[in-house]
Structure 1
Amino acid sequence: MTWRRGVFALFAVAAGTNVPTPLLLVYQERLDLSPQVLTALFGSYAAGLVPALFVAGPLSDRLGRRRVAVPGILLSAVASLAFAAAGESLGLLFGARFLQGVVSGVVFSVASAWIGELSLASGDGAGGRRAAFAMTAGFSLGPLVSGVLGQYGPAPTVLPYLVHAVLATAGLVLALRLPETVDLLPVPAAAGLPVAAPVPLVRPGDGLTVLTVLAPVAVCVYAFPSAVISAVPLLVELPAAGVAVTGVLAGVTLGAGTLVAGLQRRFGRWTAVIGVALGTVGFAAATAFTATAALPWLVVAAPVLGAGSGLCLAAGLTLTARLAAPARLGALTSLFLAFAYVGFAAPFVIATVAEATGPTLPLTVAAVLCGLLALRLLPAVRRHQL
């Protein structure tokens, strides 16, 4: 099935996004960086990603998925090589992380739409679940491997990135064999045709659903895992072999999101509500961990927040496909992912507030906000907006 090649290519790019995550502790030690600088480094990814999302999705609706996605997959390998070459230069690390964000913004939006269209061509509508599986599987495997290599392998700030560059190259080879799924039409002005009015992004009457349902669910997608992976290990001292522990923590968190993505079919329109409710439980457990330093609370928080993220991603991509106006799936997917990556600000906000108040307060607030959002989504379920 052709969609499998698309899934692997998306997986390969997603695997690179969290390779630097467990290595933050290595950079912290070598460069003597504060938690605020480290979370800013982690979050600079979003600064490159969000503008790329708004360009790549609509561009692929017009030029085709292949022309936009394939260069992005190639640049995923280049971004990892840039990390490997950065060494202990903070400026180069920020530049490599920013480039990684640009690459992800291009590939995630376009490849998600591509997989959805390939799935429709194969006779089913499981594209949202497949794209969610590809991304969450990559998000979990990348830090798991880099954490082990960073802790026990040679050249901890080089080898993990080289491994990913090889994986991304394999994804590129497979993507080159994928068929185009967008019917390419001549640009009206160039073809001497009348220029039609712009096609709306969503179907009439669905704009409020995008703002009040799709957008907050999207923010949860990355706020949940990034908080427990990036912020918590920097605020509470972990046991020995902290780099490996952080890698395992990231792998468990994001792996849980991979495992639950398939449950969307069973949960139906309740998927997003359950995902957000799990975020409430996960942040409450993370709060207990920062207050007591008892590892069992972290063991609970990581997979619960990861599972909530995976459910929100699967529900959001499915809702995106349902709301998109004809020929605007790439653009609306980009908007959904742009909302999602706002969640990457969560670690920075938590670290900044924790510096003044301690980590318990911002994590408690996060748990309360998730609980309120879960309640807000209940009317959307009854009105069949989810």
Structure 2
Amino acid sequence: MSATVRAVTEAPVDPRRTRRRLDALTLGLFTVALGTNIPTPLLLVYRRTLGLSDADLTAVFGCYAVGLVAALTVSGAASDRFGRRALVLPFAVLAGLVSLLFVPAVTHLPLLYAGRLLQGVVSGVVFSVANAWLQDLAGPGGQQSAATRGAVSTSLGFAVAPAMSGVLAQYGPAPTTLPYLVHVAVLVVGLGALLTVPETVTVRHPGRLMTLGLPPEARRPFWAVLAPTAVGVFAFPTVAATLLPLLVVPGGVGVAYAGVIAGLALAASAAAARVGRRAERGAAPLGMLVCAAGTALGVLAIVARAQPLLVPASLLMGAGAGLCLTAGLTLTARLAPPHTRGAMNSAFYAFAYAGFGTPLLLAWLGGRLGTVPVVSVFAAVPLGIAAWLWRELRTRRG
């Protein structure tokens, strides 16, 4: 038998116990996600205190991506082999230690790089493995619910963090310390919840760790449907949170405002994730259409220098991303056998997180070809993906 591991979910003899465990894991996932975006609006502060250049900011984002990709290549398959709990718990603890590492980073650039690199590692491990853990606990009949829980808790953590850190940094004491201490306090609660969740992988055998975990029957739908859907998960809200404010308000925006814009985009993602549960197979193409509408509104905001348009543009781009995330996690759960569930979640997140590089790519192309033409072409990309997904999903339904 070629299976390297078998994930066994306890029979839901007591539905209330199963729900409590799902709730605990959802809370734990939220508290880890909360730490990931705390530095985002604070980059404006770091830029001032450390004298960061555009190249330095690019390197900060690059560190996160490097850590993320490195973790995703092994974390899913490692959880299939060693267990979900064995990976999520220590890396959730690491999330708190990383937040504390950021406190002295305000005057030490190497610590800022190290913190973002380690945040990428934590994200790559916890988000992919915790979603596989949710799917294990939910059982065959609860896969869509597990996908919604994973999407909402992650998006909500992403949404609360920049709004919280932006407001605390602008109006509270110790702007580069207090947001991280708040995260550590919340994370302690999440760790307590995670300790109550049992392991679901009970049979472990040697196997490859660096693998996408795509069984033969899942490869065609993964590349045709899941990978294109993943494009919409982070590319659009990241552009809304980081690039659009700079393009619309060339003089720059305040730390609190930057945090609120990022928070709105990601809050819309969390809200739309629940709607996506009802949209079934139409969630992915619908999400892409909503992303296209938001990006088009962003282009209008750039041309007109209309700062008020940032809010509806961010809401639409975030909502489209939430629909794509729920659709992607639901399909991942359906395609993945239990023994490759962790690796396949990692594969989906690897494609999704590639979207974090979109603002850098658009900024680079905009400097050479012009901002408005480049962002206008970018707005057409989700329209093409929506048409492709609609055709693919209609064919499969038929």
TM-score, scaled to structure 2: 0.89
Note if 1:348 corresponds to 2:367.
no
Distance 2:91 2:294 in 1: 34
* Residue number in structure 2 paired with 1:163: 182
Distance 1:385 1:34 in 2: 51
Distance 2:222 2:196 in 1: 34
* Residue number in structure 2 paired with 1:152: 171
Tell whether the 8 Å contact from 2:74 to 2:211 is kept in structure 1 after alignment: no
Helix, strand or coil at the partner of 1:184: strand
Identity %: 44
Note if 1:6 corresponds to 2:30.
no
Aligned residues: 378
* Residue number in structure 2 paired with 1:49: 68
Aligned pair partner of 1:94 in 113, 119, 141: 113
RMSD between superposed Cα atoms in Å? 2.3
Deviates more, 1:132-141 or 1:229-238: 229-238
1:35–1:300 Cα change, 3 Å: farther
Unpaired segments ≥5 residues, structure 1: 189-194
Helix, strand or coil at the partner of 2:173: coil
Tell whether the 8 Å contact from 1:217 to 1:312 is kept in structure 2 after alignment: yes
1:202–1:385 Cα change, 3 Å: farther
Distance 1:180 1:293 in 2: 52
Note if 1:228 corresponds to 2:240.
yes
- Shift of residue 297, structure 1, vs aligned partner: 2.0
Distance 2:32 2:334 in 1: 25
Deviations along 1:138-191, whole A, 9 cap, x unmatched? Answer: 000111100100111112111111111222222112111111111233x36xxx
1:200–1:52 Cα change, 3 Å: closer
Q: Trace 1:257-296 onto structure 2 (pairs within 5 A).
A: 257-296=269-308
Tell whether the 8 Å contact from 1:35 to 1:235 is kept in structure 2 after alignment: no
What amino acid does structure 1 have at the position aligned with 2:201?
Answer: V
Distance 2:217 2:28 in 1: 35
Helix, strand or coil at the partner of 1:356: helix
* Residue number in structure 1 paired with 2:147: 128
Unpaired segments ≥5 residues, structure 2: 1-19
1:324–1:385 Cα change, 3 Å: farther
Distance 1:34 1:264 in 2: 40
1:244–1:123 Cα change, 3 Å: closer
1:329–1:212 Cα change, 3 Å: same
Note if 1:17 corresponds to 2:36.
yes
- Shift of residue 361, structure 1, vs aligned partner: 2.5
Note if 1:68 corresponds to 2:87.
yes
- Shift of residue 356, structure 1, vs aligned partner: 2.9
Tell whether the 8 Å contact from 2:301 to 2:309 is kept in structure 1 after alignment: yes
What amino acid does structure 1 have at the position aligned with 2:329?
Answer: L
1:376–1:306 Cα change, 3 Å: same
Tell whether the 8 Å contact from 2:244 to 2:310 is kept in structure 1 after alignment: no
Deviations along 1:183-219, whole A, 9 cap, x unmatched? Answer: 233x36xxxxxx99x9993443331221122112112
- Shift of residue 288, structure 1, vs aligned partner: 1.3
Aligned pair partner of 2:268 in 232, 253, 256: 256
What amino acid does structure 2 have at the position aligned with 1:174?
Answer: A
* Residue number in structure 2 paired with 1:138: 157
Distance 1:373 1:200 in 2: 23
* Residue number in structure 2 paired with 1:218: 230
Deviations along 1:24-69, whole A, 9 cap, x unmatched? Answer: 2112223333445324423421210111012111111111111111
Deviates more, 1:162-171 or 1:255-264: 162-171
* Residue number in structure 1 paired with 2:127: 108
Distance 2:390 2:143 in 1: 28
Q: Trace 1:174-253 onto structure 2 (pairs within 5 A).
A: 174-185=193-204, 187=205, 201-237=213-249, 242-253=254-265
